Amino acid sequence: MLFFNVQLAFCKKQAGYFYLSPTPFYPHAFFSSFPYFCPIQNQGNLMTNIQFKSPSKSQQKFYKTLQKRVNAHFQNHQKGKHANAQMWFKCSLFFVGTIILYGLFISNWFTFWQLLPIVLLLGWFKALTGINIGHDAIHGAFSSSPKSNEILGRIFDLLGVNPYTWRITHNIVHHTYTNIPEHDYDIEVSPKLLRMSPNGILLSHMRFQQYYAFILYGLSAVFRAFRQEYVKFFSKKLGSYECPTPERKEYFHLFFWRFLFYTLFLGVPLIRLSLPWWQVLGLFMAMMFVEGLFLGMVFQLAHIVEKVDFPTPNESGELQHTWATHQLKTTANFAVQNPVVNFLCGGLNSQIEHHLFPHICHIHYPAIAPIVKKTAREFGLPYHEYPTFWSALKSHFRQLKEFGEGKSKTKDRLAMN
């Protein structure tokens, strides 16, 4: 029986890249801190070593075959795997739009009610800029130059997100332990408020979570900007994952960019605008709410839906499938035939392709998706997809309702209020 392990390099030039390793390497799980808005709440025995161990030779062959076919696609079409002219055009559009909207925000030309739609658009454009530029850059997918990716990744600071902590929580943990309860950060948003897996703690108020979850998605951007990023940065361990000691420059980046974020989006408006401070604060909150809501929905629609699995390792920490098969089982696409959704979502509606090839720029996902789908079907593996954004959103709503009511097939672990 062969081991299939995914080793993730976490260093200056290779952060976020996947490569197959013949020797076992077990990155670890995540975070335990706040009773409510903490990324990982330890609930029982948390696995420290997870092995993707499949007895199926077909599964072991799948990813190697898929890689060959995808590489052949780029070679046959003489295309690079990074950003092309189309990518630069749309990203420039989002970035320039963000600057223009910010300029209007601080211009002092408008009343509160006239500014409200401007800041709502600003929050949306900030999110679009982040997921289309920053997300690809931090994965090393935007440019072939590590330095360029590092610079472009700083756009995440506009969202109140620290690129260094994102590489750990997203590139390493989420992309390795996708949808594994108590290990995947993205399904452990706030364990005592949202139950986003069949193994999560079940509290009585969660029967309403399909309604209030979207409010929490919006508020998450504010919480992340003012507290969560600091906690993650200074944590020596995120769950059982031992964080590397940050370099000195990372401390500078954390405080410098955080100060710049507060200055640009709170300090300058408070000084420039002829509005009461509480109205300026309200505009800031509205901007951040739209940003958080958009990001929350786009990310969750790929993993917290009815078609996907939430695998649980056995007592030995083993999952009886390969890492690539795991990504197919735990991830879903949505609205991939919709050019508007493709244009806006930064490839996050093509999460299957993104999870299998995070180092390829998302602008190429529509081209390689048929290859991935055909190969998955050829090897008898799942390929989950929803035809529209609304069908995925409704499935997400139903899944939240099911988890909140404790109707999932996996045994619930009940907790007292």
Phi and psi dihedrals of 204, rounded to 5?
-60, -35
Structure tokens at 253: 């980046």
What pLDDT does 351 receive? 94
Greater confidence (293 vs 47) lies with: 293
Q: What percent of the chain has pLDDT over 70?
A: 84
Nearest to 310 by CA among 332, 295, 334: 332
Is the predicted pLDDT of residue 9 greater than 70, yes or no?
no
* Spatial separation of the C-alpha atoms in residues 74 and 81, rounded to whole Å: 7
Q: If you count them, how many residues does the chain have?
A: 417
pLDDT at 189 (0 to 100): 66
pLDDT at 239: 54
Instruction: State mean pLDDT over 255-277.
Output: 93
Q: Which of 25-39, 231-245, 377-391, 399-413 has the highest mean pLDDT?
A: 377-391
What phi-psi label fits residue 12: left (phi over 0), alpha (psi between -120 and 50 degrees) or beta?
A: alpha
pLDDT band at 199, cuts 50/70/90? confident
Q: Where does 308-350 have alpha helices with state H? A: 323-330, 339-344
Chain-centroid distance, C-alpha 214: 16
- Residue 17 structure tokens: 């890249």
To which H or E segment does residue 242 belong?
strand 241-242
Please state, in angstroms and rounded to a whole number, the distance separating the CA atoms of residues 191 and 35: 8
User: Would the pLDDT of 8 be above 60?
Assistant: no
From the list 340, 335, 333, 339, the residue with the least C-alpha distance to 354 is: 333
Q: Which two tokens stand for residue 20?
A: 């197959």
pLDDT in tens, 213-264: 999 999 988 988 898 888 888 877 665 567 788 888 889 988 999 999 999 9
Rg from Cα positions in the chain: 21
Residue 373, token pair as written in the block: 């789908």
Q: Tell me the sheet residues that pair with 241.
A: 238
Residue 128 contacts residue 138 (beta carbons within 8 Å): no
Task: Write out pLDDT tens, residues 147-191.
Answer: 999 999 998 988 888 898 888 888 888 888 888 877 777 777 677
CB count within 10 Å of CB 145 equals 13
How is residue 345 written in tokens? 């979502």
Q: How far is CA 211 from the centre of its chain?
A: 22
**Predicted confidence band at 122 (pLDDT cuts at 50, 70, 90)?**
very high
Long-range CB pairs of 210-214 (<8 Å, 24+ gap) are: 210/397, 210/398, 210/400, 210/401, 210/404, 213/400, 214/293, 214/296, 214/297
Task: Say what the pLDDT of residue 290 is.
Answer: 95
The pLDDT-based confidence of 406 (bands split at 50, 70, 90) is: confident
Cβ within 8 Å of residue 390, ≥6 positions away? none
User: According to the model, what pLDDT value does residue 49 have?
Assistant: 67
CA distance 171 to 18: 9
DSSP 44-93: SPPPS--EEEE--HHHHHHHHHHHHHHHHHHHHTT--SS--HHHHHHHHH
Tokens 């799942």 — which residue? 382
pLDDT at residue 334, as a whole number = 95
Give the whole-angstrom CA distance, residue 73 versus residue 368: 8
Chain-centre distance of CA 111, in angstroms? Answer: 36
Q: The whole model's pTM is what?
A: 0.82
Average pLDDT, the chain: 82
pLDDT category of residue 336 using cuts at 50, 70 and 90? very high
Of residues 168, 188, 182, 194, the one with CA closest to residue 42: 182
Burial-class residue 135 by CB neighbours within 10 Å (0-12, 13-18, 19+). buried
| Residue pLDDT, tens place only, 31-63 | 222 223 333 333 333 344 677 877 777 778 899
The answer on pLDDT for 384 being more than 90 is yes
